[in-house]
Structure 1
Amino acid sequence: MFLYRLLVSVFAALVLGRLALRRDWPALRDRLARGAADAGPHLWLHAASNGELASARPILDALRRARPDLPIVITCNSATGVRLAQSWGLAARLAPLDLWWVTRRFLRNWDVRAHVAMESELWPHRVLRCPGPVLIMGGRLSEGTARGWRLFGGLQRRLLRRLAWVSAQDDGSRARYRDAGLPDGAAGPVVDLKALYVPQAMSDPAPAGFDRHATWLAASTHEGEDAVVLDAHLAARAAEPGLRLILAPRHPHRASDIAALAQARGLSVARRSLGEPPEADVYIADTLGEMPLFYALAGRVFIGGTLTDRGGHTPYEPAAYGAALIHGPDLRNFRAPFARLSAAEAALPVGDAQTLAAALAQLSGQAQAAMGAKAQATLRPEADAETLTNALVQWLPPAPRA
């Protein structure tokens, strides 16, 4: 524990120093658990980012219905995650640093009765100091992370024995949890929370003029992928002249650079953030929180982050919309679902602009709907949100007597 406390203290000093230099006093207060807290007992749920938080939305909604007496306070490592939780009407703060005295303050201020952590967010002081049960949803424990924990001696085993319930996101993670010391009785069902994604209705209208059969989406692209996408689009249009492209960069601030790349290739461009009419060769979706609009418009989806060293983004969301899936070789962030897609021949792998253009051509016509239906069936979860919530609720403290 001494080594962990030393390292987390150094990390905390860096985080606080950076916030102080930026004069970001609200964030500084959150990191030190000095922000205002709502009265009454709470369930504390922590997610690293807005992506993890979004995957937990069905569980959060079910928990609020099942236990209205136990309000949820959300913490995230990112400001975007905090804003997302607040948009759902939940109390949310930046995550407190995992220093023992900061953790104690947060637990006391929010009267925390139980703690739920998402995926790999296993923080020792939160686990050891929480007065109630500690639960893990969508737990992820890679071989590399398991090896890293060995640097801290028996700390990991001590933490795992404190966990009441763990729902791992894949069989490999559950096996590694058990090997590292998780009691058999604490092993819950294997469910990747991202597989619970349900297509969402959006309040803002989708841009008009897109034929889903003749539209493809490059979703969450990173620097280095946009040029490949644009070159593939040019090549694919030679065989399918009416093909439209929606390009949604992972980081919208890159929209101007992407527009320049497209215009240099003779392609016309419209940007969503500027309210420009969508009648262009390339429609740049440079906004946040609107991906459901674009999944619904595109029958073919290239999953970004798979042609670079980013590890790839989720295949669950486009599959939920019945889109035909295309991806590059870097799939390490979602190995399990991509392995299932590969075994079922329910997605097409590509490596460059030429093979991406060929995949787009292969998925034109009736092949698009057939491949999309196969991907949707392949990634359908084994357990639904209600089943998972019922298992989780059993571990929560009982409601106070009137």
Structure 2
Amino acid sequence: MRRNTSITLLSVGHACVDVYQGAVASLIPFLVAHRGYGYAAASGVVLAASLLSSVAQPFFGALTDRRAVPWLLPASTLLAGVGIALSGLGGTYALTLVCVALSGIGVAAYHPESARIARQAARGAHSAMGWFSLGGNVGFALAPLLVAAVVGTGGLRWTPVLVLPALVGTGLCLVVLRTPGRRPSGRAGAAPTGPGDDRASFVKLSLAVMCRSVVFIGLSTFLSLYAEQRLGGSTAAGTAALFLLYLGGAAGSLLGGALAERWDRVTVCRWSYLVSVVAVAGVVVVPGPALYGCIALTSAGLYVPFSLQVTLGQDYLPSRVGTAGGITLGLAVSVGGLASPLIGRLADATSLRTALASLVLMPVLSWLLLRTMPEPAAPRPPAEVPLPTAEMGQPSPEGGEQKDDMRPDSPTPWR
């Protein structure tokens, strides 16, 4: 497949997975209404989805550094969907937590391998990685609409219908893995062409992404309830606010890739976090429908750095691209869910507005961390070789036997 086709299919598949990250937060108002959960209990559901995901992401990243595991893409997509599909059927709180935790593991398994394959298919283009990230953002954006349409119509017993995106995503993953095409050669564990690891900068970047995650997941968890309070108690107002938070990320990802083609990635990320400080403060203090404008600006500010941070992590840690992707696209993103119970407890003790006001500090910390980070030198693009199919040994388009370019003895300048 040509690069654009590969990125398009990977982007749509990314959307089919990340819809389940957005679905967890989208289910919160229904769990509160139907099961009487308080803020702390509701945030515990988000924690369950994030906790195992956070722990599992580095493991899956290290696994992809050792060997290619393309089968993880369809398997993890299906697991993410099945977990959410079953979450509404568990009558007990503990069973609900187990179901969303299984979905979180599926999300964790998907991202390191998909980020590695997408970076290779993109051949180093920031705009192409922006399109890949766009898919995840679209999935997030569609989640509240999908959950509202399904659960709002039939109640929590209809959550099995939510498995449909996973079935579509699984099919797309199989198409990508079975269709011959062209992408950079690659195997896990080889060193790229370029400078060595900059672990200090990678740690700073990971901390900055964690701070971003606390803001984003904190808003994702409580923004729907907050908008209902601020705008007259309408469920539609909460759904619209959450949809806008996720949809603005789609524009932010594309804008981030375009800006990085003109300025360096660190500079773009730094300015984006400054914008986020003002925008998050606006969400807390701006009255009336203007709240939606602040939500859109917050979303763009938090998502402009998203795909750029993934490639920055890979360039800071070029000898462990899978681990870098697992942390910047997975662990550091999911870890925000670990802070959500604290935000929930603060909301129970004070008010939801006070709890959300505490989030303003997070993009400030991200900005301070980025001030001390250099722009890494990008690795040189490798030569193209045929994309291996899911079943090794099938005939290649040029004739003869298609070989696995991810074998341990296959050199690559990317890994």
Scaled by the length of structure 1, the TM-score of the pair is 0.23
Structure with greater helix percent: 2
Provide TM-score, normalisation by structure 2: 0.23
Higher relative contact order (CA 8 A, sep 6+): 2
Structure with more strand by fraction: 1
